[in-house]
Chains A and B, each alone.
Chain A
Amino acid sequence: MHVLRHDGQGLDEAKLVEDTSRLADPTKRYSSNKIESDVVCKFPNGDGNDQPKSAVPCQLPLRAVPKPTINRDVKAWDITEKFTQASLALNTGQLVKDEYFTLFESIGALEIMDPKMDSGFLQPGETLEDDYDALKPLLPEEVIGIMDQLLCYEMAWHQGYPLSQTLFTSVYIDKLLWPDPRSLEEAQFYRGDVKLATEAMHDILRAYCLAIIKCCDFVITKITSRDYFEEEDFCTHTYNRQLLTQVPLDFILHELELAMKFIETDQTSPISAELKYALLARLEFRRALLIALFPDYSASFLDKYWPPVSDTLPRIEATHKFGRPVPGSFSTKLQRRLASTVPPRPVVELEFKDAFEKLVQLCVDCEEAVRYTYLEPSPQEYQSFIWAFASRKPQPLAYARSYLSNFIFSSNNEVFEHLLREDLRSLVFPEDQVLDPVNWTIESPRNPMMPKDKRLQMASLIDEFTNRAIQNYHELWTALCQNRCRMRRMLCHSMLAFDQLQSDAGVLDDDLHALSSDIQQYPLITWVYHHKLRQIEWVVQLGFEQEIYLPDELPSMYYWLSKIAETRKRLLMTLLEFFERRQSKMEKGKKAEIEKAERVKEGKGYIESLLAEASGTKELAEALSSFYTHLAYLKLLPTPPRPFSNPSLRYELRMKPFLTLTPSEVFPFAELTAQLHPYGPYDNPNPKPNLSRILSDSVIWQYMDHAVKSAKEDFAKLKKLGAKAARAEGVKGSWEKGVQGCLLSCVAAGVAIATVKEICKGLGKEGVGGVEGMKKRLRVEIVEAGGDRVGKRYHEWWVVPKVVKL
């Protein structure tokens, strides 16, 4: 341990022991799985569920705890005397720091007797334990109230708050889980060997609580089985409590059914019909939810799991008013009993209305996720679905995302290899001999001196590429399944991985060319490059969505986007030519060839769709870049003074993720400056020709108008080609909405440009004033992104300014 002098407080031996045990624990607490852009990604799969067995047993003060297990290999010395002596040599505040004392450890330290840090610290008159009696009789209204409060906490937990601040504040849940019950029978509101008679209301509440606990267990199982970020997406920490992990689902269902049966058949108790109805609704809901969350689902009934849950929800909502809260049955003090060093922290309060909304969303999102399993098995259809799912608003909860991920990634590697080959087929190998299944059936010649069959060689090359690319490909899909912030950052990594892959693919392409002249030029490089360019675009566009760029950065960021989209457009044009050549060649062939030609034609639709999208992106980005540039000259873009920075440093920072790409995509700063400053510096434009005269001339606005018009045509073409060509038929509605959003962005951009153009016409004329006066005549509003809600932008990726005449 580090010898650290405590502030004016003597440390007795007991406290010292306590202190070290606490120090051991924070390492757990802060070992969250944050990944930054400059480190290799690691996923916390299966990590963080419980405390590691090796953790120092944590004895919280002043409470009865089971005897700690004593490790016989550990020897104990009383260091009180030595420690006191040693610390006397230090002044208060004097720090003896060795080089291994890190920020990490400083964070882990707690101060005894600080009410915010010392969980055992009691305010005058405060009791350590909660004294709520879990066996006191409950009214049915109170049971309903408790059930609904538990639901609120459950949903708060789903949103990412820890169990300690949500469900684990319930005295009833605590009673069921601690001491760790050896059987379901032992999990009672009373604890101990003596079996007590319980009231019917207790039995009903107990069944509900058991089911909640089991739901949590299933949720944790599902989430930890997929890539997620602890504490960011979700808190899986159970503070050393077993969430009935060993109890089979049927046992819990049985408890629920007994409770339901009791309510249904009960003639003796004076519970009103509406209260019975309310209680039944909650038990039925729990039953349906438990079944839906069960990790070992049956694939053939997948569409039957979530609708029954949703069906029970209106009844819960309608009967919530009958509930009577029992606030005493929840207490933050219970946190003291959890294996944690964190002092009691406030309960996360979520209103029933909000919790219920989250619950509805969870059911709807999961039901939607199931549709993934019914999609046409094509990588593009799958990815369209994943994008649409990730773009849902509000953002799907961690559980729903894991639920979908489970369908995506539960399949074995072969499925992903198949998807990768299909991806290759649709982009660069249309009806191509390279991917002919026959190639994989040919055996190597017995005599190794004999040349191998060309087809076999092709298959080997593709296998080699698949082996090399599969991990990158898999990671790209993983990135698309993360929360939106993570998605953007992980795409930065994925993009670099594809960059590396691109240079590796060259050798294989050369080998393929040696085997056949009738293939797309550099097919593998082309495929990788297209994926890479698309990821660059996504990184930038998600940047617009996440409001990473300040208003005065919009000219350069849209310029950058337009350049990347333009490169991709050119790439797609060569692909389109190739598809066309192949189609017309096959059309001239025999019957089987003509059939193939038909399929090439169909595949061409996909390339055309990509091309329309890339082209539209290029044009609209170009228009916006130019428009924002002119707004900068008109002093209509807020520009911070930035005394510590300069444009070239900021450009370097913005381009950092892309600086190492090969071929180099980032253009020199001078080029950008020239491009974005056609009339000299914004605050000091060239005197000749006069800026007012330039801006009043409609010619310069025509360029933007033209780009907007082209963008609109491209997006209209994309729309016309339709969801099927775009391979987004499974999410037709949201795909169409997206395209419509792009179209409307074009319209809005056109209107904004026209408004500014109109006002600029009079520049320099009498009564209008010069460029300086534009602030009085026009106001430019940068439309905010929607965040977790449906926003005001037509499309989150297109920041079209709203121009208001004053």
Chain B
Amino acid sequence: MSNSDAQSSTSDLRYVQYHGSKESTYLPAIRQLISKDLSEPYSIYVYRYFLYQWGHLCYMALDPSGNLIGVVVCKLEHHRSGTFRGYIAMLAVQEAHRGKGIATQLVCMAIDAMAERDADEIVLETEVTNTASLKLYERLGFLRSKRLHRYYLNGNTAFRLVLYLKAGTGMKRPQQLDDSGELPAQYGYSATSFDEIGVRDGHPVLEGSQVP
């Protein structure tokens, strides 16, 4: 999706897919940008956990001098519900550049990338009071599926947002266990989103980070 206004004011930005070989160039900036709005920072391994496995689902907005202006970090894997589930883990845009559609552009690229890789659905959580973030995702097609009471460490409540990409996703059911009682190897991890392991600081999209 494009926005002509945003294009004109941000036409000097480059949108770049992350790659592991660029870690030393970009990771410090990614960390700085994201942890700025977090009460508690993630360790470097949290970033690496995502970027090492799903670097191709991370997109960055860079200015002409190569400075990081915005970033989106995602993952995509088989979820125990039976779906192939994309998860938008982090999204941040530098404060001075908010309101220009950069976040929207980053999210669109991430959704396209996940859809191309056959994702059934994409989910994320965001604070119920973060209207900018809610609007951004709801404009793209996400719906609120549930409210999560006191989800974040600061005591705030969240909405779970979900976007179905394929028909039949709602009918998918947990995979059958094999004889050994374990899931087949491709269904690697059981806990797949921040929510499921109880981490509550996942999604720092703040006011104004959306298309005006």
Binding site for B on A (CB under 8 A): 4, 7, 30-34, 36-39, 92-93, 95, 97, 99, 101-107, 109-111, 114, 116-117, 159-161, 229, 231-233, 342-343, 345-346, 483-486, 488-489, 546-550, 553, 640-645, 648-650, 652-656, 659
CB neighbours (8 Å) of A32 from chain B are: 198
Nearest Cβ distance between residue A25 and chain B, in whole angstroms?
14
Nearest Cβ distance between residue A631 and chain B, in whole angstroms?
18
Tell me whether A93 and B27 are in contact in the complex, defined as CB-CB below 8 angstroms, given that A101-B49, A485-B157 are known contacts: yes
User: Is B196 within 8 A of A102, CB to CB?
Assistant: no
Tell me whether A102 and B191 are in contact in the complex, defined as CB-CB below 8 angstroms, given that A550-B138, A642-B139 are known contacts: yes
User: Is A550 within 8 A of B143, CB to CB?
Assistant: yes
User: Is A107 within 8 A of B157, CB to CB?
Assistant: no
Cα of A103 to Cα of B189 in the assembled complex, Å: 9
User: Is B141 within 8 A of A644, CB to CB?
Assistant: yes
Sample (20) of A-B pairs whose CB atoms are under 8 Å apart: A7-B44, A33-B198, A34-B198, A109-B45, A109-B46, A116-B41, A160-B150, A161-B155, A231-B198, A232-B150, A233-B150, A547-B144, A548-B144, A548-B145, A548-B147, A640-B138, A640-B141, A644-B108, A652-B171, A654-B143
Nearest Cβ distance between residue A194 and chain B, in whole angstroms?
41
Asked if B16 lies at the interface with its beta carbon under 8 angstroms from chain A, I say no
Cα of A550 to Cα of B161 in the assembled complex, Å: 12
User: Taking CB as reference atom, which chain A residue is nearest B201?
Assistant: A107
Nearest Cβ distance between residue A48 and chain B, in whole angstroms?
11
CB neighbours (8 Å) of B200 from chain A are: 231
Cα of A39 to Cα of B163 in the assembled complex, Å: 20
Sample of 14 more A-B contacts, CB < 8 Å, known A34-B198, A232-B149 = A97-B48, A103-B194, A107-B194, A109-B45, A109-B46, A114-B43, A231-B200, A233-B149, A488-B146, A548-B145, A649-B167, A650-B164, A653-B169, A653-B170
Tell me whether A553 and B143 are in contact in the complex, defined as CB-CB below 8 angstroms, given that A93-B23, A103-B49, A107-B46 are known contacts: yes
Nearest Cβ distance between residue A81 and chain B, in whole angstroms?
24
Asked if B1 lies at the interface with its beta carbon under 8 angstroms from chain A, I say yes
User: Is B149 within 8 A of A645, CB to CB?
Assistant: no
Cα of A95 to Cα of B45 in the assembled complex, Å: 9
Cα of A262 to Cα of B1 in the assembled complex, Å: 75
User: Is A31 within 8 A of B81, CB to CB?
Assistant: no
Nearest Cβ distance between residue B175 and chain A, in whole angstroms?
12
Nearest Cβ distance between residue B158 and chain A, in whole angstroms?
9
Residue from A34, A548, A642, A659 in contact with B170 in the complex, judged by beta carbons closer than 8 Å:
A659
Asked if B151 lies at the interface with its beta carbon under 8 angstroms from chain A, I say yes
User: Is A345 within 8 A of B39, CB to CB?
Assistant: yes
Secondary structure call for the A interface: loop
Tell me whether A109 and B43 are in contact in the complex, defined as CB-CB below 8 angstroms, given that A159-B155, A488-B147 are known contacts: yes
CB neighbours (8 Å) of A39 from chain B are: 80
Cα of A114 to Cα of B128 in the assembled complex, Å: 31
Contact with A along B128-159 (1 / 0, CB 8 A): 10000000001111111111111100010101
Asked if B188 lies at the interface with its beta carbon under 8 angstroms from chain A, I say yes
Tell me whether A345 and B24 are in contact in the complex, defined as CB-CB below 8 angstroms, given that A232-B151, A642-B140 are known contacts: no
Cα of A107 to Cα of B90 in the assembled complex, Å: 14
Tell me whether A111 and B141 are in contact in the complex, defined as CB-CB below 8 angstroms, given that A30-B199, A99-B188 are known contacts: no
Tell me whether A652 and B170 are in contact in the complex, defined as CB-CB below 8 angstroms, given that A36-B195, A642-B139 are known contacts: yes
Cα of A472 to Cα of B89 in the assembled complex, Å: 36
User: Is A106 within 8 A of B48, CB to CB?
Assistant: yes
User: Is B167 within 8 A of A652, CB to CB?
Assistant: yes
Asked if B93 lies at the interface with its beta carbon under 8 angstroms from chain A, I say no
CB neighbours (8 Å) of B150 from chain A are: 160, 231-233
CB neighbours (8 Å) of B106 from chain A are: none
CB neighbours (8 Å) of B10 from chain A are: none
Asked if B192 lies at the interface with its beta carbon under 8 angstroms from chain A, I say yes
Asked if B33 lies at the interface with its beta carbon under 8 angstroms from chain A, I say no
Asked if B162 lies at the interface with its beta carbon under 8 angstroms from chain A, I say yes
Residue from B52, B111, B155, B192 in contact with A97 in the complex, judged by beta carbons closer than 8 Å:
B52
Asked if B62 lies at the interface with its beta carbon under 8 angstroms from chain A, I say no
Interface size bracket, B side: 35 or more
Cα of A232 to Cα of B40 in the assembled complex, Å: 18
CB neighbours (8 Å) of A95 from chain B are: 48, 52
8 A Cβ contacts from B31-64 to A: 35, 39-46, 48-49, 52-53
Asked if B212 lies at the interface with its beta carbon under 8 angstroms from chain A, I say no
User: Is B167 within 8 A of A36, CB to CB?
Assistant: no
Tell me whether A546 and B147 are in contact in the complex, defined as CB-CB below 8 angstroms, given that A38-B174, A93-B23, A641-B139 are known contacts: yes
Residue from B24, B141, B166, B199 in contact with A107 in the complex, judged by beta carbons closer than 8 Å:
B199
Asked if B197 lies at the interface with its beta carbon under 8 angstroms from chain A, I say yes
CB neighbours (8 Å) of B199 from chain A are: 30, 107
CB neighbours (8 Å) of B113 from chain A are: none
User: Is B43 within 8 A of A107, CB to CB?
Assistant: yes
User: Taking CB as reference atom, which chain A residue is nearest B185?
Assistant: A99
Cα of A114 to Cα of B31 in the assembled complex, Å: 13
Residue from A111, A342, A644 in contact with B165 in the complex, judged by beta carbons closer than 8 Å:
A644
Residue from B40, B48, B145, B191 in contact with A104 in the complex, judged by beta carbons closer than 8 Å:
B191
CB neighbours (8 Å) of A485 from chain B are: 146-149, 157
User: Is B170 within 8 A of A106, CB to CB?
Assistant: no
Nearest Cβ distance between residue A100 and chain B, in whole angstroms?
9
Cα of A644 to Cα of B104 in the assembled complex, Å: 12
User: Is A38 within 8 A of B1, CB to CB?
Assistant: no
User: Is B143 within 8 A of A650, CB to CB?
Assistant: yes
CB neighbours (8 Å) of B49 from chain A are: 101-103, 106
Most buried by B among A32, A95, A345: A95
User: Is A107 within 8 A of B147, CB to CB?
Assistant: no
User: Is A644 within 8 A of B189, CB to CB?
Assistant: no
CB neighbours (8 Å) of B192 from chain A are: 103
Nearest Cβ distance between residue A770 and chain B, in whole angstroms?
27
CB neighbours (8 Å) of A483 from chain B are: 149
User: Taking CB as reference atom, which chain B residue is nearest A4?
Assistant: B45
CB neighbours (8 Å) of A649 from chain B are: 164-167, 169
Most buried by A among B53, B167, B197, B199: B197
User: Taking CB as reference atom, which chain A residue is nearest B190?
Assistant: A102
CB neighbours (8 Å) of A109 from chain B are: 43-46
Nearest Cβ distance between residue A102 and chain B, in whole angstroms?
6
User: Is A659 within 8 A of B145, CB to CB?
Assistant: no
User: Is A653 within 8 A of B144, CB to CB?
Assistant: no
CB neighbours (8 Å) of B168 from chain A are: 652
User: Is B81 within 8 A of A38, CB to CB?
Assistant: yes
Cα of A330 to Cα of B108 in the assembled complex, Å: 48
Cα of A34 to Cα of B160 in the assembled complex, Å: 13
Cα of A31 to Cα of B151 in the assembled complex, Å: 14
Most buried by A among B45, B128, B142, B191: B45
Most buried by B among A342, A484, A642: A642
Tell me whether A92 and B198 are in contact in the complex, defined as CB-CB below 8 angstroms, given that A106-B45, A345-B40, A644-B165 are known contacts: no
Cα of A105 to Cα of B49 in the assembled complex, Å: 9
CB neighbours (8 Å) of B163 from chain A are: 644-645
Cα of A294 to Cα of B159 in the assembled complex, Å: 37
Cα of A33 to Cα of B141 in the assembled complex, Å: 30
CB neighbours (8 Å) of A640 from chain B are: 138-141
User: Is A642 within 8 A of B141, CB to CB?
Assistant: yes
Cα of A231 to Cα of B151 in the assembled complex, Å: 8
User: Is B167 within 8 A of A643, CB to CB?
Assistant: no
Nearest Cβ distance between residue A317 and chain B, in whole angstroms?
25
Tell me whether A30 and B197 are in contact in the complex, defined as CB-CB below 8 angstroms, given that A104-B191, A106-B49 are known contacts: yes
User: Is B40 within 8 A of A116, CB to CB?
Assistant: yes
CB neighbours (8 Å) of A653 from chain B are: 143, 145, 162, 164, 169-170
Most buried by B among A37, A39, A643, A644: A644
CB neighbours (8 Å) of A232 from chain B are: 148-151
Nearest Cβ distance between residue A113 and chain B, in whole angstroms?
12
User: Is A643 within 8 A of B157, CB to CB?
Assistant: no
User: Is B43 within 8 A of A110, CB to CB?
Assistant: yes
Cα of A54 to Cα of B176 in the assembled complex, Å: 34
User: Is B165 within 8 A of A34, CB to CB?
Assistant: no
Cα of A629 to Cα of B192 in the assembled complex, Å: 38
CB neighbours (8 Å) of A650 from chain B are: 141, 143, 164
Cα of A30 to Cα of B198 in the assembled complex, Å: 5
CB neighbours (8 Å) of A553 from chain B are: 143
